[in-house]
Amino acid sequence: MKEELYWRKFAFSYKFAEKVCFVRNLYDDVRRAVAHDYPDKDIRILDVGCGSGANTIHFAQQGYQRVVGLDPGESVLQIAEDKLRDAGDLDNCKFCVADITKRTEFDDGYFDVILSTHVFQKIEEYDAGLQEIRRLLKPAGTFYITIPSSTEKFSTWLWNYMKEKGIIRALWDIRWLLAWTSPYVLLTRKEDRKNENRWDISTMEDIVVRKNGFKKKIITALPYFHVGCTFGVFEKK
């Protein structure tokens, strides 16, 4: 199965993603950053590659004026819509199927804040995606992005993690990770999976700032999966 087809139609396992302790920690870092930067909640937020909607619904529940989750996967957005109904059909929250590398339905400068949490590693045309984000941000709006930085194989990471934490703790910590990723591995062929982008601090600065015209506020490393990811905060000039 092609990877694109899996994410559009068969990403039922994504509901387990937010149960993964490593993912929750990453979400918490992004949420704290937005809450710190925007205590006034009269803003519009776009969550690019929102998946099952964990961050989108979180910010809507926090009372932000308008929160939109965008993802190309119909199946994963169905999970998000179900969660939104369970949350009480928040009037300030919306999900839409769209590809961030194409022009979306929103006007220029519509959003104050745009988030992208571990999405751009799967986007081949990342410059097009960043330019659409730049178009959608209002002047001086803020773009928060995380992306893996390590090229370490999962088997190598798991071995090191087991040595650090012990077998029982390691297996307990990765149980939801396996539930989330195993169907993807089983239902897609290795040759059909996209090579993932990996951006360290200097690569992120080169791509986001120098090539795509954002202003750097912060770029730092976070201990995601204990092998690291890069977290950047940028402003539209």
Q: Is the pLDDT of residue 209 over 80?
A: yes
Confidence of residue 228 (pLDDT cuts 50, 70, 90): confident
> What is the average pLDDT across 51-70?
96
Widest pairwise Cα distance in the chain: 51
Give how many domains the chain has, as a whole number: 1
> What is the average pLDDT across 52-57?
95
Cβ atoms within 10 Å of 45's Cβ, excluding its own: 27
CA distance 142 to 236: 7
- The per-residue pLDDT for range 158-193, each reduced to its tens digit, is 888 888 889 998 889 889 888 888 888 888 887 777
CA distance 228 to 192: 26
Task: Give residue 36's domain range.
Answer: 3-236
DSSP bridge partners of 222: 229
Q: Is the pLDDT of residue 224 over 80?
A: no
Confidence of residue 225 (pLDDT cuts 50, 70, 90): low
Confidence of residue 8 (pLDDT cuts 50, 70, 90): confident
Cβ atoms within 10 Å of 24's Cβ, excluding its own: 13
Q: What CATH number does residue 190 fall under?
A: 3.40.50.150
Q: Is the pLDDT of residue 226 over 60?
A: no
The pLDDT score that the predictor gives to residue 131 is: 98
The reported pTM is: 0.92
- The per-residue pLDDT for range 191-202, each reduced to its tens digit, is 777 678 999 999
Q: Is 169 left (phi over 0), alpha (psi -120 to 50) or beta?
A: alpha
Confidence of residue 5 (pLDDT cuts 50, 70, 90): confident
The mean of the pLDDT values for the chain is 91
User: Worst-scoring range by mean pLDDT, 3-7, 87-91, 134-138?
Assistant: 3-7
CA end-to-end distance (rounded Å), the chain: 41
Task: Name residue 149's amino acid.
Answer: S
The pLDDT score that the predictor gives to residue 227 is: 62
- The upper half-sphere exposure of residue 194, i.e. CA atoms within 13 Å in the direction of its Cβ, equals 15
3-state SS, residue 237: coil
CA distance 48 to 237: 20
Lookup: tokens for 92: 């300030």
